[in-house]
Amino acid sequence: MSLDKRIHAFRDDLADEALKSQVSAKRFVKGETAYCGLNPVSLRHEPSHSASLDTMLLPLEKLVVFEISDEFSWVQAQDDGYVGYVENNKLYHPRSSSDGPVALYSHFVATASTFIYPHADIKSPPKGALSFASKIFCKALESKDFFELLYPDGSSLGYGYASHFERLNKSQKTIVEYARQFLNMPYLWGGRVLYGIDCSALVQLVFRPFGIYLPRDSDLQFSSFDQTYKKERSDLAAGDLIYWKGHVALATSSSTMIHASGHHMLVVEEPIDAAIDRIKNEWGAPIGFIQNPIDH
């Protein structure tokens, strides 16, 4: 069985050394750790500004860098394994230390987005923003209204409003509540952030607060579930997933669903049966209904 290049780093000239027994390449490398900068980073299919957008990487998302050329780096995202090219100036390389990073991911952004402030003061002009589900290093302060936000090497990034963050794997909302934060946000092929998101990214991101890291694309997600996850349309409940060939939606109840819709060009919530009837003209009938992985 051939490996999928979307989630395995190999080319004819270069490959991840972990794949040495599985692929042929002129050279194998281990890769080095880096992180995305403070803004979402476009990951492209080719090392070109005009190349198609495959996905977007979240602020401070951890990567493995296999090659650095003049403008682009060839990388693999740690969480979902997606491979592609990002601009060199969008990456953050932590200061080297024999002890490794001094800060560890502790929290995630639980709101649709949140600002990074230069001071623990909401009146200070923001220096940037973080997207939903971005993992971050937070340090408690005497003022319980704010966290100090840290880079992976422990240096200060700025300050974030504390109530916008939740501890990793200790989500305080339901998956439907997380998903509804994206309602009316624009659809963007390859998008994965507030100002543009696609169907599989929406589903992928809303499971992250529960410690469930789904693959990036809808076909990869569907393939990751075995038969024990399959269920019938009549049994659908909130949090279950509906897959088409090339599309996915999250059930918000037994009769409604939310999805990033290329038809509406927005994230919308609508009746499941009406959506199935409309979508069959473009994608065909659903290929499967999947139990909420949180409940499995």
In-domain check, residue 257: yes
Check whether residue 76 and residue 35 sit in a common domain: yes
Check whether residue 35 and residue 127 sit in a common domain: no
pLDDT digits (tens, 9 = 90+) for 79-102: 999 999 999 999 988 775 544 555
Check whether residue 179 and residue 149 sit in a common domain: no
Strands 62-68 and 32-36: antiparallel
In-domain check, residue 156: yes
In-domain check, residue 197: yes
Nearest Cα residue to 92 out of 120, 126, 62, 124: 62
Distance between CA 224 and CA 210 in Å, rounded?
17
pLDDT digits (tens, 9 = 90+) for 26-48: 999 999 999 998 888 999 999 99
pLDDT of residue 1: 60
In-domain check, residue 8: no
In-domain check, residue 9: no
Amino acid letter, residue 37: G
Check whether residue 197 and residue 131 sit in a common domain: no
The residues pairing with 130 across neighbouring beta strands, listed in sequence order, are: 114
pLDDT digits (tens, 9 = 90+) for 222-272: 999 999 999 999 999 999 999 999 999 999 999 999 999 999 999 999 999
**What CATH number did the domain enclosing 28 receive?**
2.30.30.40
Amino acid letter, residue 86: V
Q: What is the dihedral of CA 120, 122, 128, 133, to 10 degrees?
A: 90
Specify the DSSP element, H or E, that contains 32.
strand 32-36
DSSP codes of every residue in 132-201: TT-EEEEEE-SSTTEEEEE-TTS-EEEEEEGGGEEETT---S-HHHHHHTTTTPBB-TT-EETTEE-HHH
pLDDT of residue 37: 87
Q: Are the CB atoms for 221 and 200 separated by under 8 Å?
A: yes
Whole domain around residue 237: which residue ranges? 175-290
Nearest Cα residue to 216 out of 83, 90, 64: 83
Q: Specify the number of domains making up the chain.
A: 3
Distance between CA 132 and CA 285 in Å, rounded?
31
pLDDT of residue 103: 63
Q: Give the pLDDT mean for 186-208.
A: 96
pLDDT of residue 171: 86
pTM across the whole model: 0.94
pLDDT digits (tens, 9 = 90+) for 118-162: 999 999 999 999 999 999 999 999 889 999 999 888 889 999 999
Tell me how many degrees the CA angle 115-76-12 measures, rounded to the nearest 5.
Answer: 150
Check whether residue 118 and residue 150 sit in a common domain: yes
Q: Pick the last residue of a domain from 167, 186, 203.
A: 167
Q: Give the pLDDT mean for 269-287.
A: 95
Strands 15-16 and 28-29: parallel
pLDDT of residue 98: 47
Check whether residue 189 and residue 259 sit in a common domain: yes
Distance between CA 85 and CA 45 in Å, rounded?
6
Q: Pick the last residue of a domain from 40, 67, 92.
A: 92
Instruction: Decide: helix, strand or coil at residue 278.
Output: helix
Q: Give the pLDDT mean for 284-290.
A: 97
